[in-house]
Amino acid sequence: MDWKIVFSDIDGTVLNSKHELLTSTIEAVQKLALKNIPFVLVSARMPKAMKLILDEMNVKMPMISYGGALVLDEQNQILHDDKINKLDTKAIIDEIELLWPDDVVINYYSDDNWFIKDEDNKAVKREENITNVKASQADFKELINKDILPNKILCMTKANISSKIEAVLQEKFPQLNIVRSSDILIEIMNKDVSKANGIEVLLHHLNMTPEQAIAFGDNYNDLDMLKLVGRGVIMQNAPEEIKKQMEYITKSNNEDGIYEYLQKLDLV
């Protein structure tokens, strides 16, 4: 197969368990770039946090952010921008603050901005340390009134109640895509937002087909993109339930999994 493009999730895939890039992964991305094969990050992260990783790789590539809600070309021009409407944004924030006022920290992402209510919150500080991006304190109602609407709302909560919160919000807001990305994080976006849809937007822009693409991932929210492309590869560190669904598996995010698999395909 003449592979034209590689997509990859970030956390648990491109980054190791210490949230660091492996030297082998950087080498793989640079070798792909020499062959004019883009290595595109696909993540729930904001563009600013993704650009830091691309800078470390020393490449300039397109990005698929917020799980597919925001797609940028390599010049950071917007190809796709899907935001939650004003009514749904206000309603779901009101619901969260009413039901779990002390158990959920709301994060409000719009374009390349990350807004929170309390910049000193410990959960926010932890996320800042992981992503190397600083949040801005803001009043959500003021943002909504100014039509600064979110591509994504992220709920930070406790592991013992996250599944209940997810279920309650899914039932009350069927028009939104509400899913846990970890045992303490719940992502909220528009219903049709997915990594697969974001990839399709970019492939159309580049005049490529899904069959010409490879994708790497490690979790439930990666399955749609892994099944869309010509070669979907799951990391060894993925949950067993996911690995059973995939034909192609590589080593873990701590063991040069991306480099080794691309080497098998004679791409690096």
The answer to whether the beta carbons of residues 181 and 221 sit under 8 Å apart is yes
Instruction: Give the three-state DSSP class for 140.
Output: helix
**Contact residues for 202 (Cβ-Cβ < 8 A; gap 6+):** 40, 62, 64, 71, 73, 79
In terms of Cβ atoms closer than 10 Å to its own Cβ (0-12, 13-18, 19+), residue 239 is exposed
pLDDT score of 180: 84
Is pTM, for the whole model, over 0.75? yes
pLDDT score of 182: 81
Instruction: Give the three-state DSSP class for 11.
Output: strand
Tens of pLDDT, residue by residue over 24-51, are 999 999 999 999 999 999 999 999 999 9
How do 113-116 and 105-110 pair as beta strands?
Answer: antiparallel
pLDDT averaged over the chain?
95
pLDDT score of 142: 97
Residues 200, 228: Cα–Cα separation, whole Å: 9
Query: What whole-number percentage of the chain has pLDDT above 70?
Result: 100
> Taking the alpha carbons of 28, 29, 32, 37 in that order, is the dihedral positive or negative?
positive
Helix (H) or strand (E) run with residue 178 in it: strand 176-182
pLDDT score of 192: 92
Question: Is residue 155's pLDDT more than 90?
Answer: yes
Query: What is the DSSP-derived secondary structure letter of residue 65?
Result: E
pLDDT score of 5: 98
Residues 264, 178: Cα–Cα separation, whole Å: 37
- What amino acid is encoded at 249 in this protein? I
Mean pLDDT of 86-105: 97
Domains of the chain plus CATH, in order, are 5-81+193-264 (3.40.50.1000), 86-190 (3.30.1240.10)
- pLDDT confidence of 55, banded at 50, 70, 90? very high
Residues 90, 71: Cα–Cα separation, whole Å: 24
DSSP result, 181-248: EETTEEEEEETT--HHHHHHHHHHHHT--GGGEEEEE-SGGGHHHHHHSSEEEEETTS-HHHHTT-SE
Tens of pLDDT, residue by residue over 161-196, are 999 999 999 999 999 999 887 889 999 999 999 999
- Residue found under tokens 């770039």: 33
Mean pLDDT of 238-263: 95
86's tokens: 């004003």
Question: Is residue 119's pLDDT more than 90?
Answer: no
Helix (H) or strand (E) run with residue 128 in it: helix 122-131
pLDDT score of 221: 85
> What is the distance of C-alpha 226 from the center of its chain?
14
Identify which of 113, 143, 125, 223 has the alpha carbon closest to the alpha carbon of residue 179: 223
Query: What is the DSSP-derived secondary structure letter of residue 79?
Result: E
pLDDT score of 99: 97
